[in-house]
Amino acid sequence: MKKYTVFLVDDHKLFREGLKLLLETLNYIEAVWEAENGKQFLASLNLHKPDIVFMDIEMPEMDGIATTEKAIELFPDLNIIALSIYGNENYYTRMIKAGAKGFVLKNSSLQDVENAMANVLNGDNYVSQEILNRLINSIDKKKNLNSDFLTEREKEVLFHICRGLSNQDIANVLYLSKRTVDKHRENLLFKTDSKNTAGLVMYAVKNGIVDI
Amino acid sequence: MKKYTVFLVDDHKLFREGLKLLLETLNYIEAVWEAENGKQFLASLNLHKPDIVFMDIEMPEMDGIATTEKAIELFPDLNIIALSIYGNENYYTRMIKAGAKGFVLKNSSLQDVENAMANVLNGDNYVSQEILNRLINSIDKKKNLNSDFLTEREKEVLFHICRGLSNQDIANVLYLSKRTVDKHRENLLFKTDSKNTAGLVMYAVKNGIVDI
DNA sequence: AACCCCTTACGTCTTTAAACGTAGGCAAAC
DNA sequence: GTTTGCCTACGTTTAAAGACGTAAGGGGTT
């Protein structure tokens, strides 16, 4: 039986180690390597060339999107599967554009992860069922959508607002200054003609920027 | 042709007078009387016994729900039609329970109002199409609902939060102290396990407390 | 080269929200 | 007839949001 090597890129040590243990229970996994951010991963790519990479999106130093772009530039046939807690549109579309061949949510089952690996090794793309549903829903919503005038960054900030994050929190996850997030929020209020957070969230829900 | 008398109970003078003019264009309307709150209306019920009453819900002194209850207690066959800006569930279910025979939104057409009058005079109930849709939607949502543990008052406050009102605003429309609304909000945060307004709004959307 | 748009960022001030605690009145349930 | 749950309400303190204004730097367009 052919065995495969896997590279986990994730800043959450606990998650990384848990997934490593899970993967090691599979008899066709030969080795599991780890990195805690994009830079570390890219640096060790020359030494360790994995069959599959699981890539987190939100990471310090260098996030999953930039890392994927760079890695695919260096090794175009690298099999990268995005691993994210959130299935929001910004994330999966950007990861796919960057060259990822799969997208799996962190609340998926090991079975999902296995499916993703099998498909990707077979040269196919893979997105988990949940993401697939969201994609289909978002296509329906796009039909009569009126939020094109929000920039990508604004939608991203809005998404995190809906998650209940404060501006400081958002600044932390996006690696920005809090004052920048303040400004994005201010612009969002103006653009969506809202008075406060409640209005922003309602707008996001109505326009499919967050899933209900 | 039989002619009918109408009583408008609404604290918004401008709206009352506009509707009065509209109704007077109908040749089967004999007279339109007015009151600016529930107490005034009840006091004059002995003098003026209208065929139809249009009752606002949010009013100072005595709101539409309490007024309807009292009026129906005094004159069980009174035809009361609720007139509200909002079609939220708290409102229409409570008005119907109180004895109202119709529910029309303030953004309806005169045709809607005429339909409501015709149906109610005919002994039927009437809710405008929009409310009917919401009722049907809310039945679907009720299937897997988990927000029974929010009290009616809490749901009402949450509804207004979603409308973008501040606590002071909500206190004004519900005729409460701001500090009371503060407390309801605090309890909502605790009960729904939310950190902030965004979480509350998302909860409300998920559980059908507001319509999208 | 000049332009527009987006992203990033800072300063200051006012208003709201959030996080504690406490407590009386009231109606329904037991 | 006491308990229980809900609605009402106040005081204080800290954190966050909201409302202005300003501006540098990057990327793409014309």
pLDDT tens-digit profile, chain B (212 residues) = 789 999 999 877 666 777 787 788 889 999 999 988 888 898 888 887 899 999 988 776 677 888 888 888 888 889 999 887 665 555 666 677 778 888 887 766 778 888 889 888 887 778 776 666 555 444 333 323 344 578 878 888 898 899 898 898 889 888 889 999 999 988 888 888 888 999 999 988 888 788 77
- For residue A11, give every residue at least 6 positions away whose Cβ sits within 8 Å of its Cβ, in sequence order, or none: A36, A37, A56, A58, A59, A60
Cβ atoms of A127 and A103 closer than 8 Å: yes
Tokens representing residue B97 in the block? 């329970």
> Which residue on chain B is closest to A203 by alpha carbon?
B212
Measured CA B188 to C1' D17 distance, in angstroms: 19
Pick the range with the lowest mean pLDDT from A102-106, A117-121, A134-138, A150-154.
Answer: A134-138
More confident residue, B127 or A154: A154
Contact A201 B196 (CB under 8 A): no
Give me the pLDDT at residue A7, please: 94
Contact B205 A196 (CB under 8 A): no
Q: State the nearest Cα–Cα gap between B44 and chain A, in angstroms.
A: 41
Burial B94-107, CB ≥16 within 10 A → b, else e: bbbebbbbbbbbee
Chain B residues in contact with A210 (beta carbon < 8 A): 202
Q: How far apart are the first and last CA of chain A?
A: 43
Pick the range with the lowest mean pLDDT from A105-109, A132-136, B23-27, B62-66.
Answer: A132-136
Q: Please indicate if any CB of chain B lies within 8 Å of the CB of A199.
A: yes
Chain A residues in contact with B199 (beta carbon < 8 A): 164
Q: Which residues pair with B4 in a beta bridge?
A: B29
The Cα A87–Cα A7 span in angstroms is 21
pLDDT (average), residues A108-136: 75
Same topology, domains A4-136 and A139-206? Answer is no
Give me the pLDDT at residue A2, please: 85
Domain spans in chain B, listed from the N-terminal domain onward: 4-136, 139-206
Pick the range with the lowest mean pLDDT from A68-82, A140-154, A173-187.
Answer: A140-154
Split at pLDDT 50, 70, 90, the class of A132 is low
Round the average pLDDT of chain A to a whole number and report it.
80
Q: Please indicate if any CB of chain A lies within 8 Å of the CB of B40.
A: no
Give me the pLDDT at residue A47, please: 84
The Cα A7–Cα A45 span in angstroms is 9
pLDDT (average), residues A2-22: 81
pLDDT digit string (tens) for A69-98? 888 888 888 999 988 766 655 566 677 777
Q: What is the CA radius of gyration of chain B?
A: 18
Provide residues 148-167 of A with CB closer than 7 Å to any strand C atom.
151-154
Chain A residues in contact with B201 (beta carbon < 8 A): 197-198, 201-202, 205
Q: Which fold has domain B139-206?
A: Arc Repressor Mutant, subunit A (1.10.10)
Strands (E), chain A: 4-9, 29-35, 52-56, 80-84, 102-105, 126-127
Chain A residues in contact with B161 (beta carbon < 8 A): 198
Burial B15-51, CB ≥16 within 10 A → b, else e: ebeebbeebeebeebeebbbbbbbbbbbeebeeeebb
The Cα A32–Cα B189 span in angstroms is 42
Does any strand C atom come closer than 7 Å to the Cβ of A184? yes
Lookup: nucleotide whose C1' is closest to A178 CA: C9
Q: Please indicate if any CB of chain A lies within 8 Å of the CB of B19.
A: no
Q: Residue B160: what are its φ and ψ, rounded to 5°? A: -70, -35
Q: Which of A55, A152, A38, A42 is nearest to A101 (CA)?
A: A55
Check whether A136 has a pLDDT greater than 60: no
Contact A210 B198 (CB under 8 A): no
Cβ atoms of B114 and B122 closer than 8 Å: no
Check whether A37 has a pLDDT greater than 70: yes
The Cα B69–Cα B72 span in angstroms is 5
Q: Please indicate if any CB of chain B lies within 8 Å of the CB of A194.
A: yes
Cβ atoms of A104 and A97 closer than 8 Å: no
Strands (E), B23-125: 29-35, 52-56, 80-84, 102-105
Q: Which fold has domain B4-136?
A: Rossmann fold (3.40.50)
Chain B residues in contact with A202 (beta carbon < 8 A): 162, 164, 201, 205, 210, 212
The bases of strand D with some atom under 7 A from any protein CB are 5-12, 15-23
More confident residue, A119 or B30: B30
pLDDT (average), residues A40-51: 87
The Cα A106–Cα B83 span in angstroms is 48
Distances (CA, A) of B5 to A57, B20, B52, B110, B153: 67, 11, 7, 16, 35
This prediction has a pTM of 0.53
In this complex, the residue of B162, B195, B206 whose CB is nearest that of residue A198 is B162
Check whether A23 has a pLDDT greater than 80: yes
Q: Cα B80–B139–B181 angle (5° rounding)?
A: 70
Tokens representing residue B133 in the block? 């849709």
The bases of strand C with some atom under 7 A from any protein CB are 5-12, 15-23
Other CB atoms within 10 Å distance of the CB of residue B174: 18
Tokens representing residue B118 in the block? 């015709």
Q: Please indicate if any CB of chain A lies within 8 Å of the CB of B35.
A: no
In this complex, the residue of A162, A196, A206 whose CB is nearest that of residue B164 is A196
Cβ atoms of B65 and B71 closer than 8 Å: no
Distances (CA, A) of B176 to A187, B30, B56, B169: 33, 38, 18, 10
Give one DSSP letter per residue of A66-93, joined into a string: HHHHHHHHH-TT--EEEEES---HHHHH
> Which residue on chain A is closest to B159 by alpha carbon?
A198
Give me the pLDDT at residue B33, please: 93
Q: Is A161 exposed, middle or buried (CB count within 10 Å of its CB: 0-12, 13-18, 19+)?
A: buried
Chain A residues in contact with B157 (beta carbon < 8 A): none
Q: What is the amino acid identity at position B163? A: R
Q: What is the CA radius of gyration of chain A?
A: 18
> Which residue on chain A is closest to B208 by alpha carbon?
A212
Give me the pLDDT at residue B4, please: 94
A and B: number of Cβ contacts within 8 A? 53
Cβ atoms of A79 and A120 closer than 8 Å: yes
More confident residue, A133 or B30: B30
Q: Which of B129, B131, B127 is nearest to B116 (CA)?
A: B127
Does any strand C atom come closer than 7 Å to the Cβ of B184? no
